[in-house]
Every structure is written in C-alpha cells, then in structure tokens.
Amino acid sequence: MEKIRKYTLMVTIAGLLAFGFGCSKKSPIGGGETPPPIKPVTPVKTDVSMWVTTADQFQLLNKQNVSLIFSAGSNQNTTINVDTTQTYQTIDGFGFCLSGGSAYLINSLSDAKKTALLRELFATDSTSIGISYIRITIGASDMSAGTFSYDDVAGDVSLQNFSLAKEQTDLIPILQKIIAINPNIKILACPWSAPAWMKDSNSFTGGSLKPAYFDAYANYFVKYIQGMKAAGITIDAITPQNEPLNAYNTPAMLMLSADEGSFIKNNLGPAFKTAGITTKIIVYDHNADHPEYATQILADAAANPSVDGSAFHLYGGSINALSPVHDAYPAKNIYFTEQATFQSDRFGSALAWHISNLIVGATRNWSRNVLEWVLATDANNGPHTAGGCSTCLGAVTISPEITRNVAYYIIAHASKFVRPGAVRIASDQQNTLLNVAFKNTDGSKVLIVINTSTGDQSFNLKFNSKIVTTTLPGGAVATYKW
C-alpha cells in the first residue's frame, strides 16, 4: 500500500461503536442517569427495505422502520430511475484483504469470539455482512509482522525447500474456517515480492525479478496454488505482483509492464497450462493513473489469452480510467483490489469518498468486485513490517476487544445486499445523489445511494413507472432493497 495518497481525508475517527444491526448510536448519558426502557417497535409495511449509515455515526448500517410503498404518484423531487432492462457486468463480490497480520489477530481471539466474528463477517444471515471476496498475500505483505517468502533458501531453483509452513499457524486455519462458513468465497492471491534471492536487489525491498529466475518464479506460483488446494483452499485468481510500480514498500518489487507481460506469456501462463491450473491471471494491481500498464499487456497477442483482466487501486488517478480499459478490451474483466482507510481519516469524509469512488465509482466503471485494504489491525495499527504501513486502519480493530471501523460499513453496505452473480443494472446518476444499482440472481433489486451534500435530500426511487419517496441526511449512505 503506497504511503502517498492522492485524496485528502481529515483528522481522527472518534468513538466508533459496538456492532448491531437496527440499533442507532446513543448519546452519552452523564451523571449516572438510567436510560429509559426501549419500547418495541412494530415494523411498518413497506415495499422497499432501507439501511442507513450517517456521517456522525448516529446510525451504523441501521435498518429503517419506514414505509416505502411504490405508487403511481408524481412530485418535483429528483428521481433515480432503476432499469433492469439495461445490464452490465456480473458481480463477483465485496470484501477485504486478509493479511497475515489480520489472520494472526483473528486467530488470537478466544474460540467463541473468533467464531462469532467470522460468522458476522462471512455468513449471510440477518446479523452478518456477507463478505464474498477476499484478497490474501503470497508470502509477506507490509501488514505482516516480518518479511518472508515460501522459499528463502538462496539458489533453490528447483524449489525443493518450498513450504507453506509459515501459514499453518494463522492464515490457513482462518481461511479454512471462512470456507466452512462460505464455501463459495472467492480468493485472490498476490505477492508483494519474489524470494529475495530471485531479485537483483537480493532484498525484499526494491529490486526486480531476475530474468534467469522467471521459470522458477512461475513454478513458485504453481506450488503455492497446489499447496493451498491441498489444504482445502481454492485460489480463484492471482496477480503476478502487488503495486508493480511501487518499489518502496517493505516488501516490494518493481515489475514493469514489459516484464510482467513477458513473465505471463513465456513462463506463468505455460506453467499453469502444464500443471492443469485454471486459476485466473489478472494483470497490473496498481493505481488508476497508469491504465496503460494493463492495456500494453492486453495488446500483446501472445500474453492476452492467458489474462483474465486487470486490477486497480486508487491512490492515484481517477476511477473513470477503468472504463477505457474495459472499452478497449471488453472481453477482459476489471477488478478493484485495494484501497486503505487510515487512522487520521474522519469517519464521514472516509465514508463519502470510498462509497462515491469505490462502491459506486468502481462498479459503474465495470469492476466485478470492490476490496478495501486490511481486514483487521491492532490498537497500534499493526502488525506491520518495519517500513510497512503504520497508519492503515483495519475494518475491525482487535485489541483484544473488537471495534468496527469505517471500512467495515463501506463494504457492508454492498456485501450484505449485493450477492455474487448479481448484475449491475442502469440507474440515473445525480450530482449529489451518487448511486449504483444491481439485480441479484433471486430477482431482488439493490440501490446504493450516497448524499454528498451537507443537507437532507428527499428524492424518488422509480422502478417500473412507480415511485417511492425517501429522505437521506447529508453525508449519509443508504442501501435500498426490493
């Protein structure tokens, strides 16, 4: 994860709350006062269900008890028309990166807390958020306690010392528990660096893969995918290198587009074919300011057949850069694979930026998924390597109590409602009511809306020539389902 962000978010997230669907944030009660008893609320009749998160955190993915009944009426409000007859890409899912550090923290919980947290994150019942896609690291990332690969024996070209033993303590057991909860979870795997001895820097930081080791490194991927499969873990896709234009993380490796294209067409693609591996190969996995990295590889007639699509982050560039890549190569898929939230981010600002640019922006620009960065961090934003990200904020903080942070709600507004296999459908984009719509395989429709203005906005949701009128506070995000 690059340390320089191209967007500005401000100050500190304060007082994030304990989790609970359908419960709003309570104002502090001073002087030992006893809160009044909560009266049961009778659900009202509604055609459309609505969940809201507000910038002030008063509501956090709260289901609203409001009657939203479709009618043939009309008014002067702004209208978002949802049209199921216009369809776009299929959705694979929404989720996070399960770093080695995240797996360690989750695995450190008591069995009861661990099970409860994993069910909350990955199950699909009413009290869960239904994460359906995760990204894991091949070897260490900067959110690991230290640097390592799966074969740190210099010169071991035949990979006789290749071993996943370092993952047997935390990552593999946690993945196995996740798969038991959601057997259809999609997993993308990605290295931050090749083994140091394969690089011209002979270090986990900086340097490039030596051409003499291209074959050995391709076989490293083969052994990894086979080893994970033996542990009951299917790797749906890989990218050859995380942030290949960023050589300054720890670990990191520079891999220019010509080198990644050569590696795919001459080594990785053939190695997968020989081993009978069907894991997808996705190129680039870096910022939207250099989409030509992906298109240069896709333009190579020898590399193109091995490539499923391209992946992007948004620490630089515009999310709108993804659509021209799709338009140039419509048969190839688009993915959004990383964006961090930070300790200094203000909740409301982060919520608005990420919903606008990623949940709405990435999917409206053809992405099949949206992944926020790290799933879990501790009270000190770790574990991380020396030189790794020391300010990245997990979706949850485990210290050892569990706090749910802004990224949790960003993803939950999509993952809980938009299920794998859904298709994006048309919806009218409005200046201060940014939105995206989907149709699930069960026929249900989902509309996600962010009110980017400072004041409340009333607007119409229109479907099949009928409307419901709804109101959304300034800075709030709502998910509507019918």
The span from the CA of 283 to the CA of 295, in Å, is 9
Between CA 91 and CA 141 the distance in angstroms is 27
Beta bridge partners of 377: 397
Q: Which pLDDT score, from 0 to 100, does residue 14 have? A: 32
- Interior angle at CA 387, CA 386 and CA 392, nearest 5: 100
- Taking 3-state DSSP, the helix, strand and coil percentages for the chain, each rounded to the nearest 5, stand at 25, 25, 50
Answer yes or no: 338 catalytic. Answer: yes
Where are the CATH 3.20.20.80 domain residues in the chain?
A: 92-420
Note if the bond before 28 is cis, omega within 30 degrees.
Answer: no
What is the edge-to-edge ordering of all strands in the sheet holding 93-97? 333-338, 309-313, 280-287, 237-238, 186-191, 133-138, 93-97, 369-374
Q: Where are the beta strands (DSSP E) in 308-432?
A: 309-313, 333-338, 341-342, 369-374, 376-377, 392-393, 396-398, 402-404, 423-427
Q: How far apart are CA 391 and CA 331, in angstroms?
A: 38
Q: Which residue has the tokens 């930070």?
A: 342
Percent of the chain clearing pLDDT 70 (strictly above) = 92
Are the beta carbons of 332 and 36 closer than 8 angstroms? no
Q: Do the beta carbons of residue 208 and residue 244 sit within 8 Å?
A: no
Question: Residues of 207-226 as b/e, b for ≥16 C-beta within 10 angstroms?
Answer: bbbbeebbbbbbbbbbbbbe
Question: What percentage of the chain has pLDDT greater than the value 90?
Answer: 91
Cα gap 95→99, rounded to integer Å: 12
DSSP for 100-132, written as a single string: HHHHHHHHTS-HHHHHHHHHHHH--STT-----
- Going by C-alpha positions, the residue among 434, 436, 438, 461 that lies closest to residue 450 is 434
Q: Is 243 a catalytic residue?
A: yes
Distance in Å from the first CA to the final CA of the chain: 37
Q: What's the pLDDT tens digit per position in 194-206?
A: 999 999 999 999 9
| Amino acid code (one letter) for 40 | P
pLDDT computed for residue 402 by the predictor = 97
62-63 sheet: strands from edge to edge: 62-63, 49-53, 477-481, 445-451, 433-439, 423-427, 78-90, 457-463, 466-472
Question: How far apart, in whole angstroms, are the C-alpha atoms of residue 61 and residue 414?
Answer: 11
CATH 2.60.40.1180, the chain: domain bounds: 49-88+425-481
Half-sphere exposure in the Cβ direction for 59 (13 Å, CA): 20
User: Which of 2, 120, 167, 338 is the catalytic position?
Assistant: 338
> Which one of the listed residues 2, 120, 243, 260 is annotated catalytic?
243
pLDDT value at position 49? 98
**Whole-number pLDDT of residue 34:** 54
Give me the CATH topology for the region 49-88+425-481: Immunoglobulin-like (2.60.40)
So what's the pLDDT on residue 31?
35
The pLDDT score that the predictor gives to residue 36 is 64
Q: What is the C-alpha to C-alpha distance for residues 89 and 423, in angstroms, rounded to an integer?
A: 6
Q: Which CATH number fits domain 92-420: 3.40.50.720, 3.20.20.80, 3.60.15.10, 3.30.565.10?
A: 3.20.20.80
Nearest to 94 by CA among 474, 427, 420: 420
pLDDT value for 324: 98
Residue 164's region, left for phi above 0, alpha for psi from -120 to 50, else beta, is alpha
Per-residue confidence (pLDDT) for residue 218, from 0 to 100: 98
Residue ranges for the chain with pLDDT beneath 50? 1-33
What does pTM read for this prediction?
0.93
How far is it, in rounded angstroms, from Cα 234 to Cα 100?
Answer: 18
